[in-house]
Amino acid sequence: MFRSARQMKFSFAEPSSDISRSNREPSFRQQGSDATFSHWCRKLVRNLGLIDLEKRVAVEWNPRMRSCAGRAFWPSGLIHLNPELSNISESEIKRTLLHELAHLIAYERNPYRAIKSHGLEWQRACKDLGIPDERATHELALPTRSLKRRWKYECPKCGKAFERVRRYKGAVACYECCLKTTGGVFDPIYQLVESPLI
Ligand SMILES: [Zn+2]
Ligand SMILES: [Zn+2]
């Protein structure tokens, strides 16, 4: 019988055990619903007595995700996972899943109250799921939307400086200084001084 990477064994019975990724196809891109993870989440919320959430919770791999590792939708109970996670490690998939599940649990327990997404209620849910030290943001090597700024530009006259992600291809001058003297036409006197940011 055909055996896809997603059907491979996940042993979540022992929360502390990290699963080696050696028996996984590294280039396999996950997509669609995940029965194994959905089942695991249902079991976890049932153990916490959230019978109604148990009926709704479902896990899906979303190939449109980029910088986010996972996302939780409440009240639908849907959790989206970034397929890139399967190329990082099994323990990261698991950690992300618990992080998102904690969001669902926090909202489910406080349906009529506006709670902070990573506030006390979420932290309590993390504790209940065995990840008491979980943080709001991940440090995974996923593509980020906000790119790191690598270049600094400074006007030699007025000293105005700013940072950019991409390097300017041609010479650029301070617009404000040029505006004052030439009416906005490029003047090399005000050419911005470029320096790399470390
Ligand atoms: Zn979160
Ligand atoms: Zn200037």
151 has a pLDDT exceeding 90: no
- Name residues whose C-beta falls within 8 Å of residue 50's C-beta, 6 or more positions apart in sequence: 105, 108, 109
- Residue 14's pLDDT is 32
What's the 183 CA to ligand 2 centre distance in angstroms? Answer: 13
What's the 24 CA to ligand 2 centre distance in angstroms? Answer: 56
- Nearest ligand, CA of residue 177? 2
Tell which wins on pLDDT, 113 or 49.
Answer: 49
What's the 179 CA to ligand 1 centre distance in angstroms? Answer: 46
Which sequence spans correspond to the domains of the chain? 1-146, 151-196
What's the 41 CA to ligand 2 centre distance in angstroms? Answer: 57
What's the 161 CA to ligand 2 centre distance in angstroms? Answer: 9
Residue 183 has which token pair? Answer: 């009416």
Q: Which fold has domain 1-146?
A: Zincin-like (3.30.2010)
What's the 35 CA to ligand 2 centre distance in angstroms? Answer: 60
What's the 11 CA to ligand 1 centre distance in angstroms? Answer: 24
Detail the DSSP E strand segments found in 99-179: 151-154, 161-164
Long-range contacts for 125-132 (Cβ within 8 Å, ≥24 apart)?
125/101, 126/98, 126/99, 126/102, 128/48, 128/102, 129/44, 129/98, 129/101, 129/102, 129/105, 130/15, 130/98, 131/95, 131/98, 131/99, 131/102
- Nearest ligand, CA of residue 136? 1
**In this predicted structure, which of 6-10, 54-58, 67-71, 80-84 has the lowest mean pLDDT?**
6-10
139 has a pLDDT exceeding 80: no
What's the 146 CA to ligand 2 centre distance in angstroms? Answer: 27
Of 124-128, 137-141, 156-160, 167-171, highest mean pLDDT: 124-128
- Nearest ligand, CA of residue 159? 2
- Residue 147's pLDDT is 62
pTM recorded for the entire structure: 0.60
